[in-house]
A and B are shown apart, each in its own frame.
Chain A
């Protein structure tokens, strides 16, 4: 609800670009209507994909004191529909439509202890928070997990700034993050803020609940785009409307249904609000629930799904079926 969620669109001009890793590019944008970014905030941007305007979100990694400049960092998403590719192609002087910083992930000042957990590009949401916690001399740990050091954005800067408060876990060095070990060090007063791939966040949520830790002390932001399985093409049928359409691996089920002329309700488009809910009448394959709206029980029941992010896959074991084995098919009502 915080006032900063009023969307104010403005022009952003690229004033600096820098490759922070092979796959991640830092962009500094000047705001035509300057506003300082609070820790945890992001901007929405309009990208152009195949001539079509689409919206994407990027966490603000730092901003100047006067709010004139905000910096974001864009990771080249492996199955990109084109948004991150467009963003990475921007050059100094290019202009695009951006919002003033929006806040859905506020940092609360005053907790006795903090753990910030970042997986991969999720570090972008944590950089500003960690800096503020350090400035106010809070008791905090920044846990940063990634595939390889080379792929981990801002690592040298974080090491220099946070010293021992930074705990690094690197898969290819055999120091991969162990969620159980992490949570064993968390007590009832600790607030944990996290952003990262859905598998990591699901594991933390499950461990958090299992330990009976306070639910509101676990804070997270979803980037709304990662799943348990790689996206596959699948078929969706809406018998009541006589609709059958294919959901390509590069589009969401919501987009495909809209494309087929179905009047759909939605709001967040990132699996939080539950407004895009559809009822499952039949399923060949398995559902890859990518939302945070349903409880685990509800996801297991597979009676409903959030079609903005969740998908169908041909095999629930993750082992992709032989393409000849056929695509998943979901039959739904909306």
Chain B
């Protein structure tokens, strides 16, 4: 045991474990309804449903009796769910309220009920020590539900360790190669970037001044400034919040109008909101949205942006899948780290600290 507890893992584990004492997004708010659904988060199968009052509930998706999935059952009464197999009924706290085949209720008949908070259009769950489930620990994603921002997003089921997605988002030099037709441009890998961290967050900022806007950004500029032509200053400010949320402040402004100094009035600004929930060691649910702060009333732009980002992220998804397959096919090869990985390396360092604090640093291979 001591040997196991002392085992060290480098920050380049190819398969990184996930902290349990954290809020993870289990679903979009609109996905959870009176009809129970099943979703596995952090290797825990969950049955998600809403009570009559609209409160989201997350129970372990296995009946106390014979482990039949409760998500195949139906909701009853105010807040109850009935096992589809022999009809045991549980309330939203996971307590058995009826055992059809007997007059009493076995006092041990419960299924775990996990803390749930609905915020920023997501249903968040806490799967670790419930006594530490403090809602103020939910990452800040306020753009998702703010009147000053508009937009929408989707979920990608990514067949890779969640850390590979975090790596992908912390280093955007890949845009030049993976997304060459939409947001990539040479200046990305040529420009300098700055990395800062404060123990809970990691920020990578990159400014590219006086450049041509790539197609995606030219279209956005023209949505706000019809007929726009000319050079832009472009920014990407990536902020990681432990353990798996990355918001990217992105945009372009007319070159030389003061955006780097804080005046973004001559530009367009978006936030790419990403939060990744590990499903298993090698799969994850990648929830993303693109929020903008201009032309808020245009559903057309919302849809166009969602579809555009869907296309861009489809390119990432293909790469992440191929990367995980290559990792699995080459178990004897290690990762190497480059200067461009600084952001991703800090993310790994922070997650590993949290895993150590939970006594779970051993990688889930």
Contacts and interface: CB of A to CB of B under 8 A. Distances in A.
B140 to A, nearest CB: 23
Interface string A212-234: 00011101111000000000000
Interface of B: 1, 60, 62-64, 67, 91, 93-97, 102-108, 110-113, 115, 130-131, 133, 359
27 contacts: A1-B63, A1-B67, A1-B110, A2-B60, A33-B1, A104-B108, A105-B107, A108-B95, A108-B113, A108-B130, A109-B115, A109-B133, A110-B93, A110-B115, A111-B93, A215-B105, A216-B91, A219-B95, A219-B107, A221-B107, A222-B107, A272-B108, A274-B102, A292-B104, A292-B106, A294-B103, A298-B103
A104 B106 CA distance: 11
Contact of B103 (A33, A106, A297): A297
Given A108-B94, A295-B103, 20 more contacts: A1-B60, A1-B64, A33-B1, A106-B112, A108-B93, A108-B95, A108-B130, A109-B131, A109-B133, A111-B93, A136-B131, A215-B97, A215-B105, A216-B105, A219-B95, A272-B106, A274-B102, A292-B104, A292-B107, A294-B104
Interface of A: 1-2, 32-34, 66, 104-106, 108-111, 132, 135-136, 215-217, 219-222, 272-274, 292-295, 297-298
A70 to B, nearest CB: 15
Contacts of A33: 1
A295 B112 contact: no
Nearest to A216: B95
A104 B67 CA distance: 16
A215 B107 CA distance: 10
A295 B96 contact: no
B87 to A, nearest CB: 16
A292 B63 CA distance: 21
A294 to B, nearest CB: 7
A66 B356 CA distance: 12
A277 to B, nearest CB: 10
Contacts of B104: 292-295
Contacts of B130: 108-110
A1 B103 contact: no
- What is the predominant secondary structure among interface residues of chain B facing chain A? loop
A222 B62 CA distance: 25
A109 B110 CA distance: 14
B131 to A, nearest CB: 5
B131 A216 contact: no
The A contact surface, by secondary structure, is loop
Contacts of B91: 216
Nearest to B130: A109
Contacts of A220: 107
A318 B63 CA distance: 41
Contacts of A111: 93
B344 to A, nearest CB: 31
Given A108-B93, A110-B115, A273 B67 contact: no
A118 to B, nearest CB: 16
Contacts of B97: 215-216
A293 B94 CA distance: 20
B244 to A, nearest CB: 23
Contacts of B108: 104-105, 272
A240 to B, nearest CB: 25
B197 to A, nearest CB: 27
A274 B108 CA distance: 13
B202 to A, nearest CB: 28
* Chain A CB within 10 Å, residue with most, of B63, B64, B67, B104: B104
B3 to A, nearest CB: 13
A135 B129 CA distance: 13
9 A-B pairs with least C-beta separation: A216-B95, A295-B103, A109-B130, A1-B64, A104-B108, A216-B97, A136-B131, A295-B104, A108-B93
B131 A293 contact: no
A216 B359 CA distance: 34
B93 A34 contact: no
B349 to A, nearest CB: 23
A195 B253 CA distance: 67
Contact of B107 (A135, A272, A295): A272
Contacts of A106: 110, 112
Contacts of A295: 103-104
Given A106-B112, A216-B93, A293 B106 contact: yes
B131 A1 contact: no
Contacts of A215: 97, 105
A219 B62 CA distance: 21
Nearest to A268: B108
Nearest to A136: B131
A33 B1 CA distance: 7
A321 B96 CA distance: 41
Contacts of B96: 216
Please indicate which of the listed interface residues B95, B108, B112, B130 has the most CB atoms of chain A within 10 Å of its own CB: B108
